[in-house]
Amino acid sequence: MAEEKKPSDSMSLAMLEDMASCGLETTWDRYEKQLPMCGFGKSGLCCRHCNMGPCQVNPFGGEPKTGVCGADADTIVARGFVRVIAGGTSAHSDHGRAVCELVIATAKGEAPGYEIKDTKKLNAIAQTMGIDPSGKSKEDLALAVGEMALAEFGKPHGHQIMTTRAPKARQEIWKKLGILPRSIDREVVEAMHRTSMGVDQDYHSLLLHGQRMSLADGWGGSMLGTELQDILFGTPKPVLGEINLGVLKADKVNVIVHGHEPILSEMVALASQDPELLKEAEAVGAKGIVVAGICCTANELLIRHGIPVAGHMKMQELAIATGAVDAMVVDVQCIMQGDVALAAKFHTRCITTSPKARIRGAQHIEFEEHHALDTARKIVREAIAAFPKRDQARVKIPQDSSAAIAGFSHEAIKYMLGGSFRASYRPLNENIINGRIRGVAGVVGCTQPKIAKGEQPYLELVKELISNDVLVVETGCAALECGRSGFLLPEFQEAAGPGLREVCETVGMPPVLHAGSCVDNSRILIACTEMVHEGGLGDDISSLPVAGACFEWMHEKAIAIGQYFVSSGVFTAFGITLPVYGSPNVVKYLTQEIEGETGGKWAFGLTASGMAAAMIDHINAKRAALGIDKPGERVLYDMEARRQLRF
């Protein structure tokens, strides 16, 4: 049989060729200039944690075998890995903290323009936190929830409150291993301390702390960020959107919002509909204002409002190169400094908005919640002012875009499966047990230029999974990459295996569900927990026939996410290798021994088809362990049995 043609992104290839012919540098060019990349860095064998170094250890067993202080390869690699998790945890959690502060300000009436939108979720989270909602106005309740959530970052005693949502068996594993996370800031501070010169020099001890910190991210900072964003902006439900550069319009003012926190982009989107600003846009010859997202800001706006998406991480320069972006408005994370230099070659205004993320050469309009809408209006006015300066001869917007359905929060999945009166995960569990659905895969994370121009490994991976009846849930840039290729539409059921297709047709859902942004990977943790609580698939996340994947990981956040999934009991595969190869002991621990402790494990350095095969093998093994690998219906837990499972 002829091998199936690999997917190829002809739009990006054509644009990159055009940019090269115009002398415009991109991230791929800069990547080429970095080659060959340092082998010590790639394998994790360099250390510059003190000024006796920097030290490098010989990866082939020769001298030097240790750093100046005597730290060996295991210690150096483990310390580096833990610091990567610290970076990722900090990024997600600082995002989460900003949301908590905004909930408090909104509840106090100090953040005009924002409101408490989802009172149902507010009540649910209050109950998880042990706050009695009765008799409280929504503002009072939001204030109590916001204050308690904010305290999770620095409380001196106790553990992360959201971990109580995990299956009881999972909580016991964390307690036994001593990795139940304490306050988020404490875990990060302790990680930096432990990994500094002369402190923790036992790779297993270091990696256990790395796990505890990652759990403070997934079941702490990220989860608080997601839930409180839902309280403020609404819990996502399926919504139709459009993804790819074709969403930009030649005759309209185009504002790109890029970064991560919806705090800013929600207001920019609102300002773009202001009749006064629309009139101003008309006055400069524009037929309207388009707001389009990039990266996880895009995901946040897409899942709640269906606001169009221009692209994912490695498309940010392509967007500017259309010549039609009037303002590139950024907040935090995944913003390339190279955008500013590229924007300077066009009329595009690059506007930074966060005091935490300034970029030399960019215009800075500081955003703060007390005057959010006014600031957003000011930003949109900058874009309107730039519009007449566009060089129309250089405007080249590709026509490519695809419709996409997004917004599959775990609540939406529950509702979709069971309806409003009997919303539950039971139909999903039943279809896994009867074998129509083999299992569930989370495909999440970044895109980046180490993947050759035009290659689209996420498409290959996801196609392989769904054709084997594996339901795919996506977040982050992976979701956008699949979305711009039409994977997030019910019509894509055609590519699914017969069992999955039947379920998708019955429910009317795509076989690939877009669940949100990077912090929204916490939604997948809760979905897994719901599956456990529903019964019939074991008493812990590690029993479920599920697996996770990130092919083009780039940001430290991806490693933090991968680790909290592994530490929650999930087999997690990454495409590009992790910087741990310098220590066979660390590799063995992360890919094998950790499974004996947490039930999850890592795999890395796989091709897309190898990754799909590894995930399917893992799912099959879990099915066999549950005794559901043979055809036949299985009795589900009754209410009493399910009650026993809850904490």
Binding site for ligand SF4 (CB under 6 A): 47-50, 52-55, 67-69, 71, 76, 197, 295-296, 312-313, 334, 445-446, 476-477, 518, 554-555, 557-558
Q: Which residues pair with 404 in a beta bridge?
A: 241
CB nearer to ligand SF4: pick between 492 and 551: 551
b/e for 577-615, b at 16 or more Cβ within 10 A?
ebbbbbbebbbebbbeebbebbbbbbbbebebeebbebb
CB nearer to ligand SF4: pick between 406 and 554: 554
Q: Where are the beta strands (DSSP E) in 407-499?
A: 439-443, 470-475
AA identity, residue 183: S
Give alpha helix (H) positions in 152-286.
168-177, 184-194, 203-216, 222-233, 262-271, 275-283
Closest approach of ligand SF4 to the CB of residue 582, in Å: 12
Closest approach of ligand SF4 to the CB of residue 34, in Å: 18
CB nearer to ligand SF4: pick between 431 and 583: 583
What does 486-525 look like in DSSP terms, one character per residue? TTTSGGGGGGS-HHHHHHHHHHT--SEEEEESSTTHHHHH
Closest approach of ligand SF4 to the CB of residue 314, in Å: 8
- d(CA 612, CA 184) in angstroms, rounded, equals 33
Closest approach of ligand SF4 to the CB of residue 420, in Å: 32
Closest approach of ligand SF4 to the CB of residue 450, in Å: 12
**SS3 category, 292:** strand
Closest approach of ligand SF4 to the CB of residue 410, in Å: 19
Say how many residues make up the chain.
647
CB nearer to ligand SF4: pick between 481 and 540: 481
CB nearer to ligand SF4: pick between 76 and 428: 76
| Cα 558-57-81 angle, rounded to 5 deg | 20
Closest approach of ligand SF4 to the CB of residue 256, in Å: 14
Closest approach of ligand SF4 to the CB of residue 494, in Å: 27
Answer whether 440's CB lies under 8 Å from 263's CB.
no
Answer whether 256's CB lies under 8 Å from 382's CB.
no
- d(CA 285, CA 294) in angstroms, rounded, equals 26
CB nearer to ligand SF4: pick between 340 and 558: 558
HEC assignment per residue over 2-39: CCCCCCECHHHHHHHHHHHHCCCCCHHHHHHHHCCCCH
CB nearer to ligand SF4: pick between 37 and 199: 199
Q: Which of 452, 445, 451 is nearest to 482 (CA)?
A: 445
CB nearer to ligand SF4: pick between 20 and 52: 52
